Homo-oligomer: A and B are copies of this chain.
Amino acid sequence: MTNVATETMTMTERTRVRRLAERGHYETATIHAILDEALICHVGFVIDDRPVVIPTIHWREGNMLYFHGSAASRMLRSLRDGVDACVTVTLLDGLVLARSAFHHSMNYRSVVVFGKAQPVPEEDKVRVLESLVEHVVRGRSKEIREPNLKELRQTLVLALPIDEASAKIRTGGPVDDEEDYALPVWAGVLPLTLTPGAAIADRDVTAEVPEYVKTYAR
Protein backbone atom coordinates (compact mmCIF):
# COMPACT_ATOMS: atom_id res chain seq x y z
CA MET A 1 0.00 0.00 0.00
CA THR A 2 1.11 3.53 -0.75
CA ASN A 3 1.23 5.86 2.20
CA VAL A 4 1.32 9.48 1.00
CA ALA A 5 2.54 10.71 4.37
CA THR A 6 5.74 8.71 4.07
CA GLU A 7 6.52 9.44 0.42
CA THR A 8 9.89 11.10 0.09
CA MET A 9 11.69 13.04 -2.64
CA THR A 10 14.76 11.49 -4.18
CA MET A 11 17.68 13.51 -2.87
CA THR A 12 19.89 15.11 -5.54
CA GLU A 13 23.19 16.97 -5.36
CA ARG A 14 21.18 20.19 -5.44
CA THR A 15 18.53 19.35 -2.86
CA ARG A 16 20.69 17.64 -0.26
CA VAL A 17 20.85 19.98 2.74
CA ARG A 18 24.56 20.38 3.45
CA ARG A 19 24.83 22.95 6.24
CA LEU A 20 23.22 21.55 9.40
CA ALA A 21 22.10 18.43 7.55
CA GLU A 22 19.90 17.36 10.49
CA ARG A 23 17.55 20.19 9.51
CA GLY A 24 16.94 18.67 6.07
CA HIS A 25 13.56 17.07 5.30
CA TYR A 26 12.60 15.20 2.17
CA GLU A 27 9.06 13.93 2.85
CA THR A 28 6.58 15.05 0.18
CA ALA A 29 3.94 15.91 2.80
CA THR A 30 6.34 18.20 4.69
CA ILE A 31 7.37 20.00 1.50
CA HIS A 32 3.77 20.43 0.34
CA ALA A 33 2.59 21.79 3.70
CA ILE A 34 5.24 24.54 3.69
CA LEU A 35 4.46 25.50 0.08
CA ASP A 36 0.74 25.62 0.92
CA GLU A 37 1.11 27.81 4.00
CA ALA A 38 3.36 30.39 2.34
CA LEU A 39 1.78 33.33 0.49
CA ILE A 40 4.87 34.30 -1.48
CA CYS A 41 7.94 32.64 -2.91
CA HIS A 42 11.20 33.93 -4.35
CA VAL A 43 11.95 32.75 -7.89
CA GLY A 44 15.57 32.68 -9.01
CA PHE A 45 16.64 32.46 -12.62
CA VAL A 46 19.68 33.42 -14.68
CA ILE A 47 19.78 36.26 -17.23
CA ASP A 48 23.06 36.98 -19.06
CA ASP A 49 24.89 34.64 -16.66
CA ARG A 50 23.72 36.62 -13.64
CA PRO A 51 21.14 35.75 -10.99
CA VAL A 52 17.77 37.48 -10.62
CA VAL A 53 15.46 36.81 -7.66
CA ILE A 54 11.87 38.05 -7.84
CA PRO A 55 9.12 37.65 -5.24
CA THR A 56 5.83 36.34 -6.55
CA ILE A 57 2.72 34.38 -5.62
CA HIS A 58 2.84 30.61 -6.02
CA TRP A 59 0.29 27.90 -5.45
CA ARG A 60 0.20 24.14 -5.60
CA GLU A 61 -2.07 21.42 -6.98
CA GLY A 62 -0.82 17.88 -6.54
CA ASN A 63 2.78 17.72 -7.65
CA MET A 64 2.69 21.03 -9.57
CA LEU A 65 3.78 24.43 -8.36
CA TYR A 66 2.13 27.29 -10.25
CA PHE A 67 3.04 30.92 -10.97
CA HIS A 68 1.18 33.53 -12.94
CA GLY A 69 1.41 37.07 -14.11
CA SER A 70 1.29 39.33 -17.09
CA ALA A 71 2.27 37.74 -20.37
CA ALA A 72 4.62 40.76 -20.66
CA SER A 73 6.53 39.92 -17.47
CA ARG A 74 10.24 39.35 -18.04
CA MET A 75 10.35 36.73 -15.31
CA LEU A 76 7.47 34.71 -16.72
CA ARG A 77 8.77 34.99 -20.27
CA SER A 78 12.19 33.79 -19.12
CA LEU A 79 10.74 30.87 -17.21
CA ARG A 80 8.38 29.95 -20.03
CA ASP A 81 11.37 29.50 -22.29
CA GLY A 82 12.43 26.55 -20.15
CA VAL A 83 15.36 28.06 -18.24
CA ASP A 84 16.41 26.56 -14.93
CA ALA A 85 14.56 27.99 -11.95
CA CYS A 86 15.07 27.78 -8.22
CA VAL A 87 11.97 28.58 -6.19
CA THR A 88 12.41 29.18 -2.48
CA VAL A 89 9.71 29.61 0.14
CA THR A 90 10.48 30.62 3.72
CA LEU A 91 8.19 30.80 6.73
CA LEU A 92 9.71 32.65 9.66
CA ASP A 93 8.50 31.17 12.95
CA GLY A 94 10.49 32.99 15.61
CA LEU A 95 13.62 34.57 16.98
CA VAL A 96 15.90 32.26 18.95
CA LEU A 97 17.65 34.33 21.63
CA ALA A 98 20.67 32.57 23.08
CA ARG A 99 23.02 33.55 25.91
CA SER A 100 25.88 34.01 23.44
CA ALA A 101 25.78 36.11 20.27
CA PHE A 102 27.09 33.10 18.34
CA HIS A 103 24.17 30.80 19.14
CA HIS A 104 21.41 33.26 18.25
CA SER A 105 19.24 31.85 15.49
CA MET A 106 15.80 31.88 13.94
CA ASN A 107 13.14 29.21 13.75
CA TYR A 108 11.95 28.75 10.20
CA ARG A 109 10.57 26.29 7.65
CA SER A 110 11.85 26.64 4.11
CA VAL A 111 11.55 24.74 0.85
CA VAL A 112 13.72 24.89 -2.25
CA VAL A 113 12.40 23.54 -5.58
CA PHE A 114 14.63 23.20 -8.64
CA GLY A 115 13.31 22.66 -12.14
CA LYS A 116 12.00 24.06 -15.39
CA ALA A 117 8.54 25.52 -15.79
CA GLN A 118 6.12 24.97 -18.64
CA PRO A 119 3.10 27.02 -19.72
CA VAL A 120 -0.29 25.73 -18.55
CA PRO A 121 -2.47 24.94 -21.61
CA GLU A 122 -5.23 27.46 -22.35
CA GLU A 123 -7.99 24.96 -21.55
CA ASP A 124 -6.68 24.44 -18.01
CA LYS A 125 -6.15 28.09 -17.08
CA VAL A 126 -9.60 28.82 -15.61
CA ARG A 127 -9.40 25.85 -13.26
CA VAL A 128 -5.80 26.52 -12.24
CA LEU A 129 -6.43 30.23 -11.59
CA GLU A 130 -9.45 29.30 -9.46
CA SER A 131 -7.15 27.18 -7.31
CA LEU A 132 -4.91 30.25 -6.91
CA VAL A 133 -7.78 32.25 -5.38
CA GLU A 134 -8.62 29.32 -3.12
CA HIS A 135 -4.96 29.00 -2.07
CA VAL A 136 -4.87 32.63 -0.95
CA VAL A 137 -8.41 32.96 0.47
CA ARG A 138 -10.34 29.73 0.77
CA GLY A 139 -14.02 30.20 -0.05
CA ARG A 140 -13.65 33.31 -2.19
CA SER A 141 -13.53 31.93 -5.74
CA LYS A 142 -17.28 31.31 -5.91
CA GLU A 143 -18.17 34.92 -5.00
CA ILE A 144 -16.04 36.89 -7.40
CA ARG A 145 -16.22 37.56 -11.11
CA GLU A 146 -14.30 34.92 -13.08
CA PRO A 147 -11.59 35.96 -15.54
CA ASN A 148 -12.97 36.88 -18.96
CA LEU A 149 -11.31 35.94 -22.24
CA LYS A 150 -9.32 39.15 -22.46
CA GLU A 151 -7.97 38.70 -18.93
CA LEU A 152 -7.11 35.05 -19.58
CA ARG A 153 -5.24 36.05 -22.72
CA GLN A 154 -3.20 38.60 -20.72
CA THR A 155 -2.31 36.07 -18.04
CA LEU A 156 0.52 33.62 -18.37
CA VAL A 157 0.31 30.62 -16.03
CA LEU A 158 3.35 28.41 -15.58
CA ALA A 159 3.69 25.01 -13.91
CA LEU A 160 6.85 23.66 -12.28
CA PRO A 161 6.88 19.96 -11.30
CA ILE A 162 7.82 19.51 -7.63
CA ASP A 163 10.24 16.68 -8.40
CA GLU A 164 13.53 18.02 -7.10
CA ALA A 165 12.85 19.66 -3.76
CA SER A 166 13.81 19.66 -0.12
CA ALA A 167 12.81 21.38 3.11
CA LYS A 168 14.94 22.82 5.88
CA ILE A 169 13.41 23.33 9.30
CA ARG A 170 14.59 24.69 12.63
CA THR A 171 12.41 24.46 15.71
CA GLY A 172 12.89 24.78 19.46
CA GLY A 173 14.92 26.87 21.83
CA PRO A 174 18.52 28.06 21.83
CA VAL A 175 21.38 25.60 22.17
CA ASP A 176 24.11 27.37 24.14
CA ASP A 177 27.55 26.27 25.19
CA GLU A 178 27.30 24.44 28.51
CA GLU A 179 29.26 27.05 30.48
CA ASP A 180 26.98 29.86 29.23
CA TYR A 181 23.85 28.46 30.90
CA ALA A 182 25.04 30.08 34.15
CA LEU A 183 24.96 33.59 32.62
CA PRO A 184 22.22 35.82 34.08
CA VAL A 185 20.77 36.72 30.67
CA TRP A 186 17.24 35.89 29.51
CA ALA A 187 17.18 33.31 26.73
CA GLY A 188 14.37 31.68 24.81
CA VAL A 189 12.17 31.98 21.75
CA LEU A 190 10.05 34.88 20.60
CA PRO A 191 7.46 33.31 18.26
CA LEU A 192 6.51 35.29 15.16
CA THR A 193 3.40 34.76 13.05
CA LEU A 194 1.89 36.53 10.06
CA THR A 195 -1.28 37.92 11.63
CA PRO A 196 -4.31 39.49 9.95
CA GLY A 197 -5.49 42.89 11.14
CA ALA A 198 -8.98 44.37 10.80
CA ALA A 199 -10.29 44.17 7.24
CA ILE A 200 -10.51 47.54 5.42
CA ALA A 201 -13.53 47.75 3.09
CA ASP A 202 -13.09 49.33 -0.33
CA ARG A 203 -15.35 52.19 -1.52
CA ASP A 204 -18.93 51.32 -2.51
CA VAL A 205 -18.95 48.00 -0.63
CA THR A 206 -22.33 47.11 0.86
CA ALA A 207 -21.67 43.41 1.53
CA GLU A 208 -20.74 42.29 5.05
CA VAL A 209 -17.16 41.21 5.71
CA PRO A 210 -17.22 37.47 4.84
CA GLU A 211 -16.48 34.87 7.52
CA TYR A 212 -13.45 33.66 5.55
CA VAL A 213 -11.96 37.17 5.88
CA LYS A 214 -12.92 37.64 9.54
CA THR A 215 -11.40 34.31 10.56
CA TYR A 216 -8.49 34.37 8.10
CA ALA A 217 -5.49 32.30 9.10
CA ARG A 218 -2.74 30.47 7.25
User: Which residues of A pack against B, CB within 8 Å?
Assistant: 14, 18-19, 39-40, 42-46, 49-55, 57, 69-70, 72-74, 84-88, 90, 92, 94-95, 97-102, 104, 106, 108, 110, 112, 114, 129-130, 133, 136-137, 140-141, 143-148, 151, 155, 173-174, 180-181, 183-210, 213, 216
Contact: B147 with A100, CB < 8 Å? yes
Looking at A52, A137, A151, A181, the one whose CB has the most chain B CB atoms below 10 A away is A52
Complex contacts, A151 vs chain B, CB 8 Å: 100-102
Chain B residues whose CB sits within 8 angstroms of the CB of A94 once the complex forms: 197
Of the A-B pairs whose beta carbons lie under 8 Å apart in the complex, a sample of 27, sorted by A's number, is: A14-B52, A19-B73, A19-B74, A40-B92, A40-B108, A44-B51, A45-B51, A46-B49, A46-B50, A53-B53, A53-B87, A98-B144, A99-B144, A101-B141, A101-B147, A102-B147, A104-B133, A184-B206, A187-B202, A188-B199, A189-B202, A190-B199, A192-B194, A192-B196, A192-B197, A193-B194, A195-B195
For A181, list chain B residues within 8 Å (CB).
203-204
Kindly provide the distance from the CB of A124 to the nearest chain B CB, expressed in whole angstroms.
Answer: 15
Closest-CB distance, A203 to chain B (whole angstroms): 7
A112 partner residues in chain B, CB cutoff 8 A: 52-54
In the complex, A202→B88 CA distance in Å?
A: 30
Residues of B within 8 A of A209 (CB): 186, 188
A207 CB contacts on chain B under 8 angstroms: 184-186
Q: Would B106 and A57 count as touching, CB distance under 8 A?
A: yes
Instruction: List residues of chain B with CB within 8 A of the CB of A187.
Output: 201-202, 205
CA of A148 to CA of B99 in the docked complex: distance in angstroms?
13
Q: Say yes or no: A100 contacts B145, CB within 8 Å.
A: yes
Known: A39-B92, A97-B137, A188-B205. A44 touches B86 (CB 8 A): yes
Bound-complex Cα distance A115 to B83 (A): 22
Q: How far is the CA of A108 from the CA of B42 in the complex (A)?
A: 13
- Nearest-CB distance from A41 to chain B (Å)? 9
